[in-house]
């Protein structure tokens, strides 16, 4: 029961940290109220979690875990994610979870480093792909809407921004939450359906209670967003994560969204991007999995030694 409880806490933390991924841009642009964004997150995260299992299978196959090791992995991951959220920085829960799993796997000799290599490659390719895609979408969109009346353009962009946010919310359930639940499911502590329902409910609670903190950082902190640039960044992130979800790779929605935002920011000029904030986020992305690996490895070693 304790492992299931910690998994729920991680899902809660993902909700508090990743609300920004789905609707931080929409809220930052003033398209949606925070309350409406939370309702949409609850619906589409649940749908994504219940309909996609490939990422859960991939993460669950990284290392062989029993109930005791699952508890270590989830405790370490939860601490890393909560600390990142306390600093108001968007961090990838994937990295904390996978770093923890690999740490436990290396300590027990069950880690499959080939799978890890594929995941790390996906982590590198996905934000770069989102950046390129956001530049492409923004450029094409600007040309297309230049021929439309201003009022029509504004309404169309608002609708598209909400739809792209829904896509990201779906991906959060299908990819990010699936990765968090994988240790519990792979150790057969919970069946997939039950884990998805509990995880989605916990994520919704985290988004509703604490999600407003990181929304400010992503929606407004990296660069000034208007509806066109916001939509371009969000759609590029959504499409990128959806692609990797279909091939079973756990990639970070946070990575991809920040990559998309940087892409449209660069179109406005380097000065439009707050480079210092980007450096802090990237530093956190490096530190989080490394610390998760080390903590999980040490705790597992101590547990086995005891």
For 262-306, what is each residue's pLDDT tens digit? Answer: 888 788 765 555 667 677 777 777 888 888 999 999 999 998 875
The mean pLDDT value for 118-130 works out to: 93
Complete DSSP assignment for 63-74? S---HHHHHHHH
Give the CA angle between residues 179, 181, 184 to the nearest 5°.
130
First-to-last alpha carbon distance for the chain, in angstroms, is 22
Calculate the CA 134 to chain-centre distance: 18
Tokens standing for residue 22: 């789905």
CB 30 within 8 A of CB 71: no
pLDDT band at 51 (very low <50, low <70, confident <90, very high): very high
- Give the least confident one: 83-97, 147-161, 197-211, 242-256: 83-97
Please give the tally of structural domains in the chain. Answer: 1
The mean pLDDT value for 237-249 works out to: 94
pTM comes to: 0.85
Percent of the chain whose predicted confidence (pLDDT) is above 90: 40
Please report, for residues 83, 149, 155, 216, 298, the alpha-carbon distance to residue 20 in angstroms, rounded to integers and kept in the order given. Answer: 17, 30, 22, 8, 33
Tokens standing for residue 53: 């299992």
Question: What is the pLDDT, as a whole number, of residue 152?
Answer: 80
Is the pLDDT at 19 greater than 90? The verdict is: no
Backbone angles phi, psi at 139, to 5 degrees: -65, -45
Is the pLDDT at 117 greater than 50? The verdict is: yes
Q: Which domain holds residue 42?
A: 2-215+222-305
Q: At 31, is the secondary structure helix, strand, or coil? A: coil
Is the pLDDT at 219 greater than 60? The verdict is: no
Tokens standing for residue 246: 């279909």
């Amino acid at each position: 029961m304790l492992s299931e409880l910690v998994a729920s806490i991680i899902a809660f933390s993902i909700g508090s940290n990743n609300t920004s991924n789905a609707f931080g841009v929409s809220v930052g642009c003033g398209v949606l109220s925070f309350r409406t964004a939370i309702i949409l997150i609850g619906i589409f995260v649940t749908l994504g979690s219940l309909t996609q299992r490939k990422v859960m299978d991939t993460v669950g196959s990284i290392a062989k875990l029993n109930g005791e090791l699952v508890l270590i992995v989830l405790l370490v991951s939860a601490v890393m994610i909560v600390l990142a959220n306390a600093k108001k920085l968007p961090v990838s829960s994937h990295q904390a979870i996978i770093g923890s799993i690999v740490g436990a796997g290396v300590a027990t000799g069950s880690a499959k480093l080939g799978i890890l290599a594929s995941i790390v490659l996906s982590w590198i390719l996905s934000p770069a792909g989102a950046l390129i895609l956001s530049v492409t979408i923004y450029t094409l969109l600007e040309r297309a809407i230049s021929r439309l009346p201003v009022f029509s353009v504004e309404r169309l962009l608002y609708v598209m921004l909400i739809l792209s946010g829904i896509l990201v919310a779906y991906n959060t359930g299908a990819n990010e939450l699936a990765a968090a639940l994988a240790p519990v499911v792979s150790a057969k502590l919970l069946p997939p359906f039950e884990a998805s329902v509990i995880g989605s409910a916990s994520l919704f609670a985290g988004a509703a209670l604490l999600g407003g903190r990181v929304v400010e950082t992503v929606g407004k902190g990296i660069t000034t967003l208007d509806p066109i640039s916001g939509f371009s960044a969000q759609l590029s992130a959504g499409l990128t994560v959806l692609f990797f979800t279909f091939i079973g790779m756990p990639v970070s929605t946070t990575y991809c969204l920040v990559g998309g935002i940087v892409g449209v920011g660069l179109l406005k000029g380097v000065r439009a991007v707050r480079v210092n904030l980007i450096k802090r986020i990237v530093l956190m992305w490096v530190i989080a999995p490394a610390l998760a690996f080390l903590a999980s490895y040490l705790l597992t070693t101590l547990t086995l030694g005891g």
